[in-house]
Amino acid sequence: MSHAEDLAIGARKLSGGCHCGQVKFVMQAIEPLAVKECNCSICQAVGFLHLFVSKANFELLTDWDNLSLYTFNSGVARHWFCKTCGVKAFYRPRSHPTGYSVNARCLDGVELEDLQISPFDGRNWEANVGELAPL
Ligand SMILES: [Zn+2]
């Protein structure tokens, strides 16, 4: 986000990060925040609420070295998490490999009731990925 001050119409600048503060980011998104709750094996375990964001609208403020990487199966998704506290605040999803998915639970000042949460059947990913909007 090289021009973080240049907000798109209707967009809100958001900040977020992990629990310990070693991972911090800023991003922008259109309100109301529409997030996906996925039932796949890893998202269910983590409780991840997906807010998809393009690379241009996301900026990591802390060092990439503060993140560990976990991959499985196809290896396309990059499941980064904080090396210190273990929180997965954002990652690169297989559905949007040019962008990111931010965990809406990790956004500053955003309450669950502020979110428009809809389900995504990630257990049947190939059959359902087409319903996800492009970035
Ligand atoms: Zn942390």
The β-bridge partners of 13 are 28
Residue 29 falls within a domain, yes or no?
Answer: yes
Q: What angle do CA 85, 87, 88 make, to 5 degrees?
A: 145
Residue 134 falls within a domain, yes or no?
Answer: no
Residue 44 falls within a domain, yes or no?
Answer: yes
- Sign of dihedral through CA atoms 13, 87, 117, 124? positive
CATH number for the domain that contains residue 45 = 2.170.150.70
Low-confidence spans in the chain with pLDDT less than 70: 1-6
Expressed in angstroms and rounded, the spacing between residue 71 Cα and the centre of ligand 1 is: 19
Residue 128 falls within a domain, yes or no?
Answer: no
What pLDDT shows up at residue 55? 96
What pLDDT shows up at residue 56? 95
What pLDDT shows up at residue 77? 93
Residue 93 falls within a domain, yes or no?
Answer: yes
Task: Kindly state the tokens that stand for 127.
Answer: 């059959």
Expressed in angstroms and rounded, the spacing between residue 103 Cα and the centre of ligand 1 is: 14
Judge whether 119 and 111 are in contact, CB under 8 Å. Answer: no
What pLDDT shows up at residue 5? 58
Domain region containing 18: 14-116
Expressed in angstroms and rounded, the spacing between residue 90 Cα and the centre of ligand 1 is: 12
Expressed in angstroms and rounded, the spacing between residue 128 Cα and the centre of ligand 1 is: 32
Expressed in angstroms and rounded, the spacing between residue 9 Cα and the centre of ligand 1 is: 32
> In 3-state terms, what secondary structure has residue 26?
strand
What pLDDT shows up at residue 30? 92
Residue 23 falls within a domain, yes or no?
Answer: yes
Q: What is the DSSP secondary structure assignment for residue 134, as one 8-state letter?
A: P
What pLDDT shows up at residue 134? 85
Q: How many residues does the chain have?
A: 135
Expressed in angstroms and rounded, the spacing between residue 23 Cα and the centre of ligand 1 is: 6
Q: What is the pTM of this model?
A: 0.90
Residue 131 falls within a domain, yes or no?
Answer: no
Residue 124 falls within a domain, yes or no?
Answer: no
Judge whether 30 and 113 are in contact, CB under 8 Å. Answer: no
Task: Return phi, psi of residue 110, to 5°.
Answer: -110, 125
The residue type of 87 is V
How many independent structural domains does the chain possess? 1
